[in-house]
Amino acid sequence: MKSYPHPFIAREGWPFIAIAVVLAAGIHGYAGFSWAAFPWLVVLFMVQFFRDPARKVPSEPGAVLSPADGRIVSVGKARDPYLEREALKISVFMNVFNAHSNRSPVDGRVEKTWYFPGSFVNADLDKASAENERAVIYLRTADGRDVTCVQVAGLIARRILCYAKEGQVLARGERFGFIRFGSRVDVYLPPASQPKVSVGDKVYATETILAALP
């Protein structure tokens, strides 16, 4: 994954964009622009949805970076159901206009991964964390801090892509997955971690610091 060159368009979107362009161009050539206007708008939507810009990684020690673009919908103490511990939980909601490439929040070794099938309720709701389809990465930092990062499908999302493997070492900001068409990412941190964001804040994957580890 480190070798992925971060082109402007995420590789997950190439087939969708290619199909949309072929259809729009075909309609345009056969029936003219008036009939092809909406298909060309679909092409533009696909391009903006699958954009995957390179991001600058903050250098602050102990910083937990946002794993996704979006809006903060939850900050507070919660039970981490995967590691069965008390934790600070921070949730990022992604709408269809956010970039959907997911990045590692910390430097750490992937200790375990899980996948849970589930429903597709609105990812803006807290119950989505427990009820929706989700993929989970358990990361441990070099100094022994445990971080759980959860990709959660949303109302429209129907495909979670998680490339992280057990035993793999991820760097902060390294790309590990993608969720198609609206979703959320939950991060569970040691309870003494200090949040740096509030509900309603707009955040950007890798560039925004969510919290500081204790």
Q: Decide if 74 is inside a domain.
A: yes
Active-site residue list: 183
Residue 3 falls within a domain, yes or no?
Answer: no
Give residue 163's pLDDT.
93
Q: Are residues 16 and 69 in the same domain?
A: no
Residue numbers of the domain that contains 31: 11-49
Q: Pick out the chain residues at pLDDT < 50.
A: 1-3
**Total domains in the fold of the chain:** 2
101 and 29 together in one domain: no
Are 154 and 181 in the same domain? yes
Q: What's the confidence (pLDDT) of residue 3? A: 46
Give me the helices (H) in the chain, please.
Answer: 14-31, 33-49, 128-131
Query: What is the pLDDT, as a whole number, of residue 1?
Result: 42
Are 138 and 110 spatial neighbours (Cβ–Cβ below 8 Å)? yes
The structure's pTM equals 0.84
Which pLDDT score is estimated for 137?
A: 97
What is d(CA 153, CA 131) in angstroms, rounded to the nearest whole number? 10
- 21 with 109, same domain: the answer is no
- Nearest Cα to Cα of residue 1 among 158, 168, 128: 168
Question: What integer pLDDT is reported at residue 5 of this predicted model?
Answer: 53
Same domain, 35 and 81: no
Residues 96 and 189 grouped into a single domain: yes
- Residue 29 per-residue DSSP state: H
CB 100 within 8 A of CB 179: yes
178 and 142 co-located in one domain = yes
